[in-house]
């Protein structure tokens, strides 16, 4: 099997620029993608782009120089293209178009996965953005297998092939299936012959074994990691080491405890202090699926709202892991 190329997925309300910086430092990601920027009927001001993608102020990359693509969500091809061009002017490394978000509020307003019901519109959006964005800037599309079912999947892939994005990421479930296992990786393999555009497989990659099976079943040597990268922050590195027959460098809980404190402090540098405990608690919810210590820590801190008290609890926990 050829070496796997890994990407870090966008996750609305979960993977912001502070988490991107942390995870890309731990794993060999070729790129990461911002949370979606919703575009409706106008060109958005520059400050909105900087808010969703602060990395624009540092050459469009994380602190360890991992490129960051800006994800746009909307249904108006021309308006999306105008906003994509503004991002290019601000120094973005790439544009990603969201056709996969399953959120009800997004789908009610004709965005995200709802567009999978209209393959021609998806193609028109991608083609319009691709046509107006300079050819040296990647334009990628993130889709699912379909909306209520996957009967339009082949049609969608043919339409995307004509629109010619740089890459297509396929979350191997429909909108209705949401995040329920399994991910249907085999469906990606069934459409690979319809296009020469590189395809990135996404969905249910929780371990190195999952990554290798996903690559084998989907026929893709490009994978996008999402919740698995939060559950095991070193997952990208472990996948690379497994492929290279290297010893696995698994993070000890004391190292993860230090990362939790680092993440909390990074949040404090960028956001109002009163909001900083919540993202750490949210991360602990993911971590506890693999680490029993995370479940214990979550029980200790879940009711703490005061940021000073919360930070002190994290510091005390870190000291206890070194004892």
CA distances from 116 to 131, 138, 283 (A): 21, 22, 30
Q: Considering 53, 101, 128, 220, which one is annotated as catalytic?
A: 101
Residue 101 designated active-site: yes
Kindly tell me the sign of the dihedral angle through the C-alpha atoms of 214, 123, 17, 24. Answer: positive
Selection from 100, 19, 12, 133 nearest residue 66 by Cα: 19
DSSP notation for 226-275: SHHHHHSTTHHHHHHHHHTTPPP-PPPHHHHHHHHHHHHHHHHHHS-GGG
Which residues have C-beta within 8 Å of that of residue 190, sequence separation ≥ 6? none
In whole angstroms, give the CA distance from residue 39 to residue 115. Answer: 14
* Radius of gyration, alpha carbons of the chain: 20
| Residues tagged active-site | 101
């Amino acid at each position: 099997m050829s070496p796997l190329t890994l990407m870090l997925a966008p996750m609305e309300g979960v993977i912001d620029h502070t988490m991107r910086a942390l995870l890309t430092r731990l794993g060999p990601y070729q790129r990461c993608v911002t949370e979606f920027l919703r575009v409706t009927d106008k060109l958005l001001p520059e400050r909105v782009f900087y808010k969703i993608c602060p990395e624009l102020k540092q050459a469009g990359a994380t602190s360890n120089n991992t490129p960051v693509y800006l994800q746009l969500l909307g249904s108006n091809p021309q308006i999306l293209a105008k906003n994509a061009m503004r991002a290019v002017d601000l120094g973005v490394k790439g544009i990603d178009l969201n056709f996969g978000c399953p959120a009800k509020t997004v789908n009610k307003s004709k965005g995200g996965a709802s567009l999978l019901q209209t393959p021609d519109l998806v193609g028109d959006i991608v083609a319009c953005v691709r046509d107006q964005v300079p050819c040296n800037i990647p334009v990628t599309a993130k889709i699912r297998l379909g909306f209520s079912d996957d009967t339009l999947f082949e049609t969608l892939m043919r339409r995307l092939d004509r629109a010619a994005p740089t890459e297509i990421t396929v979350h191997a479930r429909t909108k209705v299936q949401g995040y329920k296992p399994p991910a249907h990786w085999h469906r990606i393999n069934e459409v690979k012959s319809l296009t020469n555009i590189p395809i990135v497989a996404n969905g249910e990659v929780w371990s190195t074994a999952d990554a290798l099976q996903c690559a084998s079943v989907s026929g893709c040597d490009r994978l996008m990691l999402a919740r698995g990268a939060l559950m095991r922050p070193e997952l990208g590195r472990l996948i690379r080491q497994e492929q290279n027959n290297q010893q696995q460098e698994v993070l000890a809980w004391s190292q993860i405890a230090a990362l939790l404190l680092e993440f909390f402090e990074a949040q404090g540098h960028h956001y109002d202090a009163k909001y900083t405990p919540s993202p750490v608690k949210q991360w602990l919810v993911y971590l506890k699926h693999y680490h029993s210590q995370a479940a214990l820590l979550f029980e200790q801190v879940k009711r703490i709202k005061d940021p000073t008290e919360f930070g002190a609890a994290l510091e005390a926990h870190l000291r206890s892991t070194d004892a």
